[in-house]
Amino acid sequence: MPDSTPFVLTKIIATLGPASSDPSVIVKLIEEGARIFRINFSHGSFEGFGKLLVAVREASRKTGMHIGALGDLCGPKIRIGQVVDGGVDVRIGDTVIIQKRPVIASSRTNAAAGETITFSITAPEIIPDINPGERLLIDDGSVRTLVVERAGRGDDEHLRCQVTTGGLVTRAKGVNLPDSKLTVPSLTEYDEKCVRWGVENGIDMLALSFVRRAEDVTKLKELLATLTPAGQPPMPVIAKIEKPQAIEELAAIVKVSDAVMVARGDLGVEMELTEVPNIQKRIIAAAHEQGRPVIVATQMLQTMIDNPMPTRAEVSDVANAIYDGAGKVMLSGETAVGKYPVQAVQMMARIARNTQRALLANPELYGQAWLRPPQWTTSGRRSAALSFGVRQIVRDYGAKLVVIWSQLGGGARYLSMIRVAVPIIACSTDEQALRRMNFLFGVHPLLMEKPANIEAFGLMLDGYIREHGWGEAGDPYVLVAGEPIGTPGTTNVVSLRRLGVTGYTEPVH
């Protein structure tokens, strides 16, 4: 397909920020291939989030696309408290005190190492969870310390740490505790406010940070169930895998999640950096095992924050994530604060197109991501069995498209996860379901009036496909539906068709 096609099978998530908040910029990002926009609740106000969401909806209307909006919850962000202007330069051999009581950390009094410098943190309640021998990292691990003692009681409880890697510490720098079993909940009071705002304002999906166990995800789902109006499906939840404890509980977390994200930012701080590629593959494989969509995120085209072109290594990183089976790739600072947000999405789409060409030409070379998810083999679900059959039909018939009526998105999700290897046009009358379907690999959502029956559906499709330039007369495609059309769970018909040909019969040889 030409580069102007809307069908980039791998979905691109673009983070919104100062560089991409204008509706005209968002339109350009959609035109270049962005299909989901991430609103990061860690930065800004509800008023600002509302403006971003309105801008996304406005851009969606202008482009005629049903674009998804992803709300990214903060989780319990632990940060250094007040620090004197200019920061404090800590050095190897210094002692760092982390205390509960608020304090303004002061600068050094002499040039020699070995001083004692006292900081406070924004989550003092975690101090009892931290033990001697555990690491305490500041500013994404730029400053590294080892806890040697926990002392005091009540408000006087504090940690004494030895600096092993020095550097400048300024106000609000993040704190990571890779070895500690923290009891702080994944869903904070502020997160709950964000969840309520997201439901009230029609956010399409939520990403949960600081996930360590399956219960973290189920608690958010329980909250969503209480907030969702009767008769509507609850908002899907993405589990961000960014903690060592989450890797230990990976299968259970994937099982209860609607999708997972390989959040490489904190993973690269909390775990050995050289382990991140292996962990990424493990997470993708675990998601595929249970038929869950997976996102790879963080620093994918990092140099494009300041440069109009990425490095060759970054291009390879994006391509390899897609080869491994990631259905979505995410841009963070590149589109939020970068100088070249439109070019970043354009480059991501070019990489995805070239990679998918290689995948479609030789799918057998790229491993388990193109096999049936093992958990579906004995699931007994009609949609799972049907989707596997559709994939084989597409290959044998040479179909250019699969078209499915998927009222709430369930059938489209099965086809997406089975990797039918051609674009999936998913039709529905439900606009929210269509926006959520934009999170699915290979799925292009299409708003359509409900046809009277399957034959009417086929006739309507011919007009839509030719009108949008998605095919030429005689092109084979596969139609998937069930009757009555629009009733979830009724999909049971697979029809082999050719564009613009009614009553088509295969020639006899």
The third-level CATH classification (topology) of the domain covering 374-498 is: Pyruvate Kinase; Chain: A, domain 1 (3.40.1380)
3-state secondary structure 332-372: CHHHHCCCCHHHHHHHHHHHHHHHHHHHHHCHHHHHHHHCC
Both tokens of 26, joined, read: 């968002």
User: In which element (H, E) is residue 463 found?
Assistant: helix 454-467
In the chain, CATH 3.40.1380.20 covers 374-498
Q: What is the pLDDT of residues 494-506, one digit of tens each?
A: 989 999 886 554 5
Contact 75, 210 (CB under 8 A): yes
88-176 is classed CATH 2.40.33.10: yes
| Angle, helix 189-201 to helix 46-63, in steps of 10 degrees | 30
Q: Pick the range with the lowest mean pLDDT from 181-190, 321-330, 417-426, 436-445.
A: 417-426
Q: What is the mean pLDDT of residues 95-101?
A: 96
Of 93, 98, 163, residue with least CA distance to 129 = 98
Q: Pick the range with the lowest mean pLDDT from 22-31, 66-75, 386-395.
A: 386-395
| pLDDT recorded at residue 112 | 67
Q: What is the pTM of this model?
A: 0.92
Residue 508 pLDDT greater than 50, yes or no: no
**For 295-340, where are the alpha helices, taking DSSP H only?**
312-324, 333-336
Q: CA angle, 481 as apex, 458 and 431 as ends, to 5°? A: 90
Residue, of 49 and 357, whose pLDDT is higher: 49
* Average pLDDT, rounded, for the chain: 91
Separation of CA 375 from chain center: 22
Residue 327 pLDDT greater than 70, yes or no: yes
Contact 128, 111 (CB under 8 A): no
Which residues lie closer than 8 Å to 234 by C-beta, 6 or more apart? 221, 224, 225, 228
Residue 364 binned pLDDT confidence (cut-offs 50, 70, 90): low
| pLDDT recorded at residue 489 | 74
Q: What is the mean pLDDT of residues 113-128?
A: 92
Q: What is the pLDDT of residues 197-216, one digit of tens each?
A: 999 999 999 999 999 999 99
Distance CA 386, CA 144 (A): 53
| pLDDT recorded at residue 379 | 58
In the chain, CATH 3.20.20.60 covers 11-75+186-362
CATH of region 11-75+186-362, choose from 3.20.20.60, 3.40.1160.10, 3.30.70.260, 3.40.50.1240: 3.20.20.60
Distance CA 338, CA 151 (A): 44
Q: What is the mean pLDDT of residues 279-286?
A: 95
Residue 492 binned pLDDT confidence (cut-offs 50, 70, 90): confident
Rg of the chain on CA atoms, in Å: 25
User: In which element (H, E) is residue 175 found?
Assistant: strand 175-176
Of 450, 449, 428, residue with least CA distance to 440 = 428
In the chain, CATH 2.40.33.10 covers 88-176
Q: What is the mean pLDDT of residues 447-468?
A: 89
Residue with tokens 């299409």: 446
